[in-house]
Amino acid sequence: MRFFIRLLACLLFVLPASVALTQQQLVQDPEIYEKDHFKGVCTTAKFDPDYVTRLDINNDGLMDAVVNEGSLTCDGKHGPDCNEEGCPYNFYVQVKEGGYLMIATARIFGYDFIKRYGNMVFVLKMPPHFCDRTDGPQCEMTVRVRDVQFVTIFKK
């Protein structure tokens, strides 16, 4: 009986710690966080004015952030991580507790943020293979952010 009580006590002590380790860390400001990262990676890092866009992406009234790594010049190379698939974009949602969570990273050509069905949605511009095509026009994927998740509405 004592063994089970000790085992239960150990589990109660260990489980909260393991759950905390699996949760994503809050970032106080995504712009500062991302810029500090690249200032550490690059000898010289320059950021275009559209490097960070602040908008409410999940319709909760709090300003969120979208970081466009294509607007970075690292050691003289503009958009160093961009390729034929597009550039990395990082999507951050501000939470009521304070700070931001990165909810997605996508390699895309760009996006439009428009009102559709009464809510603001992203139209992500991507290579055709994301719409199950081998060629033709770029794929346009319409997604809505609900809480901290991307929900695909449709692909075109």
Mean pLDDT of 16-38: 73
Encoded amino acid at 148, one letter? V
Residue environment code for 104-123, b if the CB has 16+ CB neighbours within 10 A, otherwise e? bebbbbebeeeeeeeebbbb
Distance CA 95, CA 135 (A): 39
Mean of pLDDT values over 68-77: 94
Which pLDDT belongs to residue 66? Answer: 95
Residue 6's pLDDT is 45
Segment 101-115, tens digit of pLDDT: 999 899 999 999 998
Looking at residue 94, what is its pLDDT? 93
Strand-strand pairing, 64-68 and 110-116: unpaired
Percentages (nearest 5) of helix, strand, coil residues in the chain = 25, 45, 30
pLDDT tens per residue across span 123-135: 999 999 888 888 8
Tell me: pLDDT of 21 over 50: no
Q: Which of 71, 81, 30 is nearest to 49 (CA)?
A: 71
Q: pTM higher than 0.75 for the full model? A: yes
The residues that bridge with 148 in the sheet, in sequence order, are: none
Mean pLDDT value of segment 37-51: 93
Q: Is the dihedral of CA 105, 106, 110, 113 positive or negative?
A: negative
Examine the pLDDT at 35 and tell me if it is beyond 70: yes
Tokens 């346009």 sit on residue: 140
Strand ranges in 1-118 using DSSP code E only, listed in sequence order: 45-47, 52-55, 64-68, 72-74, 77-78, 87-94, 100-108, 110-116
Mean pLDDT within 31-43: 93
Look up residue 119 and give its two tokens. Answer: 């809510």
% of the chain residues with pLDDT over 70? 85
